[in-house]
Chain A
Amino acid sequence: MLSETLYSDVTMLDVLISLIIFSVIILIGKIIIMNLKRSLKDKISKDRLNTLSKIIYYSSIFIGFIAILPILRVDLSGFLVAGGIMAIVIGFASQSIVTNLISGIFLTFERPMRVDDVVEIGGPNGTVGVVEDIRIISTSIRTFDGVYVRIPNEKVFTGNISNYLENIARRFEYTVGIRYSDDAEKAVEIINQLIEEEPMALKNPPPQVFVGNLGSSSVDIQVRIWAPSSEWFQVRMKMLWMIKKTLEENGIQVPFTQQEVWFKNELEHAERGDEKRGRLD
């Protein structure tokens, strides 16, 4: 049965041998990847290791494919003409795939983001989340509400990418309004003290706390704090509540919007008020 000819002089045995050779080459590739992952796990970053693994994996498929062609009596020269025509057809058909592929290659070299970075892709209303994988054709993002989003690399490459973890620190800012009757200097001192006590509020770049505006209802204190990029959001949430709570504990309050109304004729208004009250009685 194994010597049965399938086409030209290729037998079942040849096909079986080809399958074994292809599988062995793929297996060798996987063993190399496994060992590399084990030995380089702590030495190079996760995304570089992923890229390296993918290169080895696809290379082993290519080598395996080339290796079995002579056994299957496939003469590549015969494909030259047909291949040329096919290439044009496939080229048109797979235009977007090729664009994504090339974008993927450029993304790998330019490295505007890495696996585990927090990014926003596609401008202010784009996709925000953690980069899970940067593949050859697409990039996958895990949004903060747990949704898996696959974005074609062309869109990633041509769109705006904001990487929130690219720099080691990020700044956030509050405007804290206090009453005109409150002591602004004391408020600034309290806020500075809170920043000093918060470990994640960085010492350098230094924080800034100052009266930034004399508003219609409040004296506005501007607070600018730098925090490690990975902790930015937690510190921002925590500090705002701490500032509000501590200011109130010290008798300094955030005022409601106020408006003073002056009557043209106060006496007339008062008389009308008395009349109205009399009718009601």
Chain B
Amino acid sequence: MYGSHKKDYQECIENLHLHFKGEEDFLKYYREIGEDIVEKRFLNKNCEIVINPIEPLNLPKDLASTLLIELDEPVMVSPRSKSKIFAKFPIEIGVFVKGDEFRDPFDIFSLVNHKYTTYGDIKTGRICKYWKSDASQKIPTTDRYKEGVIQVNMMNTTRRWIEVTNMVFTGYGMKIYYDENMVSLMAKMIIQTEDQSETKFLNSGMRKGMRKSIETLRPKGTIPMKGEKFIMEGGI
């Protein structure tokens, strides 16, 4: 499904039905997931669509710009050390028309359930998209239409063992890569104090040959973006 498609393309996965086909003088896009149906007509018959995993922060509503991954079981990071863990993150899929200069998806859908949470207190904190994942030291197997794999390179700069339960990432500058088997994200987490750390995405795929997804979340007016960092001040 991911990649570029011309007319007469069809895809059925679980309860998702998607097709893009030519009808007389236009191209018709149809997508159905349960009761959620999107239909569009394109007046240019030579349209090409691009289907990409995008930042999982658009559905069900554009409400949060940060993703919080809660680990099933907390991990302990040793003092003054570097380590890496793998976790999973939810997938949202964006459908684009090729050639759109602003690269905004005309349809976004997802095969997973969504949940929000707060990070920090309700006065100074923020609303985050929520995902619960187990942490492992090997790349976990995932359904690439539902979950992606995030590799987090952790650096503990403190002189204590630090327990990590939550990881919060900003959606700005989220560098998602994909191939035939998986969707990936690479990030780093610098633990600064017992309850503060900095997270940032790295601009590379987890494996060679992975293709980069289109970035949709960006402050208006500044299209190219470096990975933005997020300071986790509300606890790790």
Contacts and interface: CB of A to CB of B under 8 A. Distances in A.
Contact of A203 (B117, B122, B126): B117
Per CB-CB distance, the 7 closest pairs between chain A and chain B, nearest first, are: A203-B117, A199-B114, A167-B122, A204-B117, A42-B220, A169-B122, A203-B130
Contacts of B182: none
A75 interface: no
A127 interface: no
Interface of A: 41-42, 166-169, 196-197, 199-200, 202-205, 226, 228, 230-231
Contact of A205 (B60, B63, B118, B130): B118
A231 B118 contact: no
B125 interface: yes
Given A42-B220, A200-B116, 4 more contacts: A168-B118, A197-B113, A199-B116, A226-B118
Interface in B109-138: 113-118, 122-123, 125-127, 130
B116 A202 contact: yes
A168 B126 contact: yes
B128 to A, nearest CB: 9
A213 to B, nearest CB: 27
A34 to B, nearest CB: 16
A199 B113 CA distance: 8
A231 B125 contact: no
Contacts of B117: 202-204
Contacts, number: 48
A200 B60 CA distance: 9
A199 B62 CA distance: 12
B221 interface: yes
B130 A230 contact: no
Contact of B221 (A42, A197, A202): A42
A230 B117 CA distance: 14
Interface string B125-156: 11100100000000000000000000000000
A228 B126 contact: no
Contacts of B115: 196, 199, 203
Given A230-B63, A231-B63, A168 B113 contact: no
Nearest to A169: B122
Contacts of B123: 166-168
A228 B63 contact: yes
Nearest to A196: B115
A250 to B, nearest CB: 21
- Most B CB contacts (10 A, CB to CB) among A41, A42, A167, A168 go to A168
Contact of A228 (B116, B219, B220, B221): B116
A166 B156 CA distance: 35
A154 B125 CA distance: 32
B127 A199 contact: no
